[in-house]
Structure 1
Amino acid sequence: MGSCIICGVDVDGGGRICESHQEDVAFDFRGNSPDQLVPSRFYRGVVDGYAEFGVFIDLAPGVTGLLHRSELDRRLDSLDWEPGDDVFVQVKGVRDNGNIDLAWSIRQADREFRGVLVQDGDTEHLPEEVDGEDEAEPSESEPADADADDAASESADARDETSETADPAAAAPESDAVSGDTDDGVSAVEADESDSDAETADDESDSDAETADDELDDERERVEIGTLSDAIGESIRIDGEVVGVRQTGGPTVFEVGDETGVVDVAAFVEPGVRAHPNVEVGDAVRIDGDVESHRGDVQVESEALVLLEGDEAEAVRRRLAEALTDEARPDGLQPLAGDEAVAELADGLLDAAEALRRAVLESRPIVVRHPATADGYVAGAAVERAVLPLIREEHAKSDAEYHYFTRRPLEDPVYDMDAATNDATRMLQDRDRHDEKLPLFLLVGTGSTVESADGIELLSVYGVDAVVVDAEVADAETRATVDTLVSPEIDGVDADLSTGALVASLASAVNDEVRADLRHLPAVSYWEETPDRYVDLARDAGYDSERVAELREAIALEAYYQSYQDKRELVTDLLFEDGGNLAAHVSEQFREKLETEVGTASENVVTEAVDGVEFALLDTDGYTHRYDFPPTPLLLDDLHRRNANGEAYATVGIGTDELYLRTTADVSVRDVAAHASELAPAADVTTAGLREGKIEFLSGERDAVEDAIVAAVADAF
């Protein structure tokens, strides 16, 4: 029976990784059959070549899988992989015919996994462990090569770009400090020249591990992390706060931040062993080391690392706090198009902008939740456009934007317990597995009504900060449950704002350098009656009315498909980088699909007049494709816009146990649901969502509910 290299628990069958940590380790596969691969594991592979439908990846000689383009988080032609490149992929499964289905991995370096193992057929072992009788057992004084790339390959020419095998006779003048120069932050232990005897080295290994990184060079002066990109190859000292820790198959990697940025610091004791176990997230530290560049990322190879205490620790934290205060609060708010209603909400928007900027500076992940609608996507994309450059500036890692910013669309515009449970599960896993800070949640176009109270309260149990920005509907009760709430309705601002328009101005406050990129977004977020100020602003940015309509329709269509995915690169192409062909093509599909459904629905609408109110009733179960585009709310919006005549008109789409209401008057959906509940007491009629006018009921009382809703709406006019 073996033990897990991550948590140490016993593993049946002599394995080296427990079930709960399968996805935390990168595997080098040395088997000869696809059947030996384990689904859900991440494997190192080599790019074999491209096809129209994806990329072929060699996991071992004769074992090749397909990474289909649908599994990528970007366009196929935007990949910068070349044949022969080392990459990491996840095995989704192996088919009966031996074909291997692969999935994309955000992690593309050894150091981003918590460990590295070699899977030799059906067995697994650490890279430095002997995997053949002909290999000599290394002496205890000779440290195994810490670079997992070296140990994982049988041919250095085929798989290793920059490895250097540790030399047990290499001298470490004047110090037993840890150092190294291998790829992905995998350092090698330099043995003292006078300490070549294996038994002596074994006796002293424990004390070396404890003291090697405690000897600072008194001659060095502190440099700022933000300047390290200009100091490659130099020996430096940094003071900062630990914002993250992860254990790889080689070194322990500490993410350390100061008032100017964040950098990875690699500290090595022996492969897979936690260096400085007493150093935790939030500690103030001083580090002497060498600045290296690994695959384009700046990294510090630690020679000495000590915990700071007392006045020195306080000085570090004071500098960070002062920098946060100075950098996080924007100088002011300049609403797009000079919108006066947005200006009235300046205090709340600046608070929201400060929270986002502070999260970036604190290396706190940001999670954005928004409805899977055109307005929701515009709002989410605006924040994304503003925040990602700040993350890139703050972090030396090239893929930091994928770790510190996540946008998760919501199928329903309510932040319910399902969404909150999903978020809580993810954030707790990231905290426990990867030592990540708990995230800041930004809810745009959702989370502002009491229907979201249970979900938000679940987050609050863990002390998670939540910021809510909603231009359409909100309840005052929400203000007591979130840290910041921006809402025209609650703040008494009379405005014809969309959430996309409001959040675009918020995004410009977060990062004024992207302001020009955001000017057309408010116009895209309106389906009708777009304010002239935003029409003019979009036109000035080069987007006429036809182009704006194409963007809106294209985003609405793509929002529906894979609604739970952010589709970051596709949305970026549509909203910011498209020359016209992509949006026009997708928009054409939108119109064709919508016209087909509207035609079918219109033929089956039942009209009736009750107390002077004209009703259009549609059986959405019988006369719509409920599980294809367009979604019911969007279809009813379009029907209502086309057919509503006069001030007393209502469109009702009723299904098995839910209905959607659209009216020409300002009718309270909650009041309608409450009245209908009195008229049909056995139906359990409740409001499910104010934004989309959604009401739920018991399916067995559908006929009674339809009559009750019609009566309640007529009374409300």
Structure 2
Amino acid sequence: MGSCIICGADVDGGGRICDPHQEDVVFDFQGDSPHQLVSDRFYRGVVDGYAEFGVFVDLAPGVTGLLHRSELDRRLDSLDWEPGDEVFVQVKGVRDNGNIDLAWSIRQADREFRGVLVQDGETESLPQEDGDDESGDDESDDADASESDGGADGEDADDGATESGAAHGDGAGDAEPVDGGTASEGATGATDDFETNDSGTVESDDSDEADDLDEDRERVDIGTLSEAVGDAVRIDGEVVGVRQTGGPTVFEVRDETGVVDVAAFVEPGVRAYPEVEVGDAVRIDGDVESHRGDVQVESEALVLLDGEEAEAVRRRLAEALTDEARPEGLQPLAGDETIAQLADGLLDAAEAVRRAVLESRPIVVRHPATADGYVAGAAVERAVLPLIRDEHSKSDAEYHYFTRRPLDDPVYGMDAATNDATRMLQDRDRHDEQLPLFLLVGTGSTVESADGIDLLSVYGVDAVVVDAEVADPETREAVDTLVSPEIADIDGDLSTGALVASLASAVNDDVRDDLRHLPAVSYWADAPDRYVDLARDAGYDVERVAELREAIALEAYYQSYQDKRELVADLLFSDGGDLAAHVSEQFREKLETEIGTATANVVTEAVDGVEFDVLDTDGYTHRYDFPPTPLLLDDLHRRRANGEAHATVGIGTDELYVRTSADVSVRDVAERAAELAPAADIATAGLREGKIEFLSGERDAVEDAVVAAVAEAF
């Protein structure tokens, strides 16, 4: 029986990784059959070549898998991989014929995994163990260890130590050596003449004293380190993250000017400075190095600050946060007066977002998987990513500190909240990440989202809600920051995309010009003239705006749970028009086909002077293809609502959608229908999309009750 290199748990069959940590390590595959691969594991591979439908990746000689383009988080032609490049992929599964299905891995470096293992057929071993000869020649092992990256030559300590094969530890306080780990020259420049003391600092055999700070050094700002590569420096700051790699411990340290990784080495996989935790004020002497474009500091000495020195660090950080986080003011796009009335709330929301960036807290944006929702989410993304790049020296920081997670429904329910809570707790426990800021745009402002928001509040997580619709009073009391019109009749032509585009310009005024066309794209019909004119000034005429809207709507539907970051950015910000025109053509073809089918099967009736179109969405729509039912009913209603008293009802197995030409409250309709059909358990499921749920066995009674309730409401 073996033991897990991450947690030490017993593993049956002599394996080296337990089931819960399978996805925390990357494997070098040295087998000879695809069927030896293990599904869901991450493997190192080499790009073999491209095809129209994806990328072929060699995992071993004669063992090649396909990374299909549908598995990518970007367009296939935007990949910068070349044949022969080393890449990291996940094995989704192996088919009976030996074909290997691969999935994309956002982690594309050794240091982003918690360990490295060799899989030779069905056996697992550490790289050192795999390289040992039968005579147990120690000289070979020592030579291999001394050649790893991250030595005193100035190469990257993170990468090299991971390649030594030891596992990453579990974070703060984990100071036990990993099986198979051997001392090697590391970020401190230690050699065999050095040993570690109890505190994790490095001592020479010739001295009983630990390495001390250099009294002659003066503090430098982290923001200037890119200009100090090769220099010995001192930095003072606060620890905002700790991660244990297979080699050094990496402390993420920030001061008032930026954030940098500090590598401290004792032995491969052994926690350096175990007394240092997130939130501590520290002083570090070290050398500035650059590897693959990332700046990091290789620590010579690190000490905890206390008393006045610690207070000085925290005071500088607090003053910098206050100065940098609060925008100077709000200038609504197109001078929108409705948005100007919400200026105080939008500035509070912008400050919360900017503060999260400065505090190195991840930001999670939740938005509906609609054209309006994607425009809103993309606007925030456009504003925040440059701030993250400016704040963090790591080139991939934007993927760690910003995430968009679209929602199938415009309700932040328990399913979404449970997913978010699980992820954030895993990131906290596995990687010592801070709990994120949640920014809910176009969702979270109604009572249907109350349970989800309550779950986040249990963990003290900050939530910011921004919605163009009027929020429920209960929600206003439940979230930290809420931006929403106070009264129902404030102005009926405000979209969430328009509101959030102005928020994004307050978050980062440098991208204001990039956002000018977004409000017009966010309106499905009758965009206000002020936004049409603003888009035209930005170079987007009415036709191009419509193409963008339709293209985003189509892409929002497919893999709706994915953010499609690069594809959406290409459409909204980098496309000359060809991509949007191509996708929008598909949108129109699919929509027209479904509209034709729906129109031929609509049942029209008049009730109390109201004309109803009722569509059986189970029988006369393709439920698992584009367009989604809400979008189809929107378009159907616009085309057929010739008079003022018109309603469209799409009814399925246990849910229905209502569209009306009058201002009818879906909640009121649901409550009245529940009185008329008490056995149907009728309830509002989505206020923003006019969605009502019921028991499928009472479908006929529900249809009659809803039609009657809508007619009464006109």
- TM-score, normalised to structure 2, is 0.91
Query: Which secondary structure state, in structure 1, belongs to the residue aligned with residue 604 of structure 2?
Result: strand
- Structure 2 residue aligned with 1:374, among 368, 371, 395? 371
1:17-75 per-position Cα deviation (integer Å, ceiling 9, x unaligned): 22111111122223333333222222222233333332232323333332222222222
Partner of 2:16 in structure 1?
16
Query: Which secondary structure state, in structure 2, belongs to the residue aligned with residue 144 of structure 1?
Result: helix
Conserved 8 A contact 2:520-2:545: yes
- Rounded to whole Å, the distance in 2 between the matches of 1:222 and 1:466 is 36
- Rounded to whole Å, the distance in 1 between the matches of 2:140 and 2:279 is 38
- Structure 1 residue aligned with 2:527, among 525, 530, 545? 530
- Rounded to whole Å, the distance in 2 between the matches of 1:391 and 1:637 is 38
Residue 162 of structure 1: CA displacement?
A: 12
Partner of 2:64 in structure 1?
64
Q: State the AA in 2 paired with 1:506.
A: L
Partner of 2:80 in structure 1?
80
Conserved 8 A contact 1:148-1:249: no
Partner of 2:630 in structure 1?
633
Partner of 2:133 in structure 1?
132
Q: State the AA in 2 paired with 1:54.
A: G
Partner of 2:476 in structure 1?
479
Partner of 1:339 in structure 2?
336
Tell whether 2:270 aligns with 1:267: no
Alignment of 1:153-552 (within 5 A): 187=186, 190-191=189-190, 195=193, 204-207=195-198, 209-212=200-203, 215-490=212-487, 493-552=490-549
Query: Which secondary structure state, in structure 2, belongs to the residue aligned with residue 621 of structure 1?
Result: coil
Q: Percent identity?
A: 84
Unaligned runs of 5+ in 1: 151-159, 166-184, 196-200
Residue 416 of structure 1: CA displacement?
A: 0.7
- Rounded to whole Å, the distance in 2 between the matches of 1:650 and 1:303 is 73
In structure 2, relative to structure 1, the CA distance for the partners of 1:654 and 1:259 (3 Å cut) is same
Q: Bigger CA drift: 612-621 or 580-589? A: 612-621
Query: Which secondary structure state, in structure 1, belongs to the residue aligned with residue 618 of structure 2?
Result: helix
Residue 250 of structure 1: CA displacement?
A: 1.4
- Rounded to whole Å, the distance in 2 between the matches of 1:148 and 1:455 is 45
Partner of 1:156 in structure 2?
none
- Rounded to whole Å, the distance in 1 between the matches of 2:401 and 2:350 is 16
Q: State the AA in 2 paired with 1:509.
A: A
- Rounded to whole Å, the distance in 2 between the matches of 1:139 and 1:576 is 54
Residue 473 of structure 1: CA displacement?
A: 4.1
Partner of 1:177 in structure 2?
none
Query: Which secondary structure state, in structure 2, belongs to the residue aligned with residue 132 of structure 1?
Result: coil
Partner of 2:654 in structure 1?
657
Q: Bigger CA drift: 63-72 or 505-514? A: 63-72
Partner of 2:96 in structure 1?
96
Residue 141 of structure 1: CA displacement?
A: 8.9
Query: Which secondary structure state, in structure 1, belongs to the residue aligned with residue 230 of structure 2?
Result: coil
Partner of 1:198 in structure 2?
none
Residue 547 of structure 1: CA displacement?
A: 0.7
RMSD after superposition: 2.4
Q: State the AA in 1 paired with 2:456.
A: L
- Structure 1 residue aligned with 2:609, among 596, 609, 612? 612
Residue 492 of structure 1: CA displacement?
A: 7.0
Conserved 8 A contact 2:110-2:163: no
In structure 2, relative to structure 1, the CA distance for the partners of 1:123 and 1:637 (3 Å cut) is same
Residue 537 of structure 1: CA displacement?
A: 0.3
Conserved 8 A contact 1:259-1:323: yes
- Rounded to whole Å, the distance in 2 between the matches of 1:513 and 1:18 is 47
Conserved 8 A contact 2:613-2:648: yes
Q: State the AA in 2 paired with 1:43.
A: Y
1:569-590 per-position Cα deviation (integer Å, ceiling 9, x unaligned): 1111111111111111111111
- Structure 2 residue aligned with 1:684, among 661, 664, 681? 681
- Rounded to whole Å, the distance in 1 between the matches of 2:185 and 2:399 is 22
In structure 2, relative to structure 1, the CA distance for the partners of 1:633 and 1:671 (3 Å cut) is same
- Rounded to whole Å, the distance in 2 between the matches of 1:461 and 1:231 is 44
Residue 461 of structure 1: CA displacement?
A: 0.5
- Rounded to whole Å, the distance in 1 between the matches of 2:523 and 2:672 is 31
Partner of 2:6 in structure 1?
6
1:480-532 per-position Cα deviation (integer Å, ceiling 9, x unaligned): 11111111145873352000000000000001111111000100111112111
Tell whether 2:26 aligns with 1:26: yes
In structure 2, relative to structure 1, the CA distance for the partners of 1:473 and 1:163 (3 Å cut) is closer
Query: Which secondary structure state, in structure 2, belongs to the residue aligned with residue 673 of structure 1?
Result: helix
Unaligned runs of 5+ in 2: 152-158, 165-183, 204-209
Query: Which secondary structure state, in structure 1, belongs to the residue aligned with residue 285 of structure 2?
Result: strand
1:347-370 per-position Cα deviation (integer Å, ceiling 9, x unaligned): 000000011111111111111111
Query: Which secondary structure state, in structure 1, belongs to the residue aligned with residue 132 of structure 2?
Result: coil
Residue 207 of structure 1: CA displacement?
A: 4.7
In structure 2, relative to structure 1, the CA distance for the partners of 1:188 and 1:467 (3 Å cut) is closer
- TM-score, normalised to structure 1, is 0.91
Residue 189 of structure 1: CA displacement?
A: 6.2
Q: State the AA in 1 paired with 2:427.
A: D
Q: State the AA in 2 paired with 1:512.
A: D
Tell whether 2:45 aligns with 1:48: no
In structure 2, relative to structure 1, the CA distance for the partners of 1:360 and 1:23 (3 Å cut) is same
Number of residues of Structure 1 aligned to a counterpart in Structure 2:
681
Query: Which secondary structure state, in structure 1, belongs to the residue aligned with residue 438 of structure 2?
Result: strand
Q: State the AA in 2 paired with 1:280.
A: E
Residue 99 of structure 1: CA displacement?
A: 2.7
In structure 2, relative to structure 1, the CA distance for the partners of 1:192 and 1:552 (3 Å cut) is closer
Q: State the AA in 1 paired with 2:393.
A: A
Residue 607 of structure 1: CA displacement?
A: 1.5
Query: Which secondary structure state, in structure 1, belongs to the residue aligned with residue 138 of structure 2?
Result: coil
Query: Which secondary structure state, in structure 2, belongs to the residue aligned with residue 341 of structure 1?
Result: helix
- Rounded to whole Å, the distance in 2 between the matches of 1:477 and 1:207 is 54
Query: Which secondary structure state, in structure 1, belongs to the residue aligned with residue 445 of structure 2?
Result: coil
Conserved 8 A contact 2:367-2:376: yes
Residue 658 of structure 1: CA displacement?
A: 1.0
Query: Which secondary structure state, in structure 1, belongs to the residue aligned with residue 376 of structure 2?
Result: helix
Residue 186 of structure 1: CA displacement?
A: 9.0
- Rounded to whole Å, the distance in 1 between the matches of 2:487 and 2:464 is 15
Conserved 8 A contact 2:145-2:185: no
- Rounded to whole Å, the distance in 2 between the matches of 1:192 and 1:637 is 70
- Rounded to whole Å, the distance in 1 between the matches of 2:549 and 2:637 is 18
Q: Bigger CA drift: 3-12 or 441-450? A: 3-12
In structure 2, relative to structure 1, the CA distance for the partners of 1:120 and 1:145 (3 Å cut) is farther
Alignment of 1:563-642 (within 5 A): 563-642=560-639
Residue 128 of structure 1: CA displacement?
A: 3.1
Conserved 8 A contact 1:341-1:495: no
Tell whether 2:122 aligns with 1:122: yes
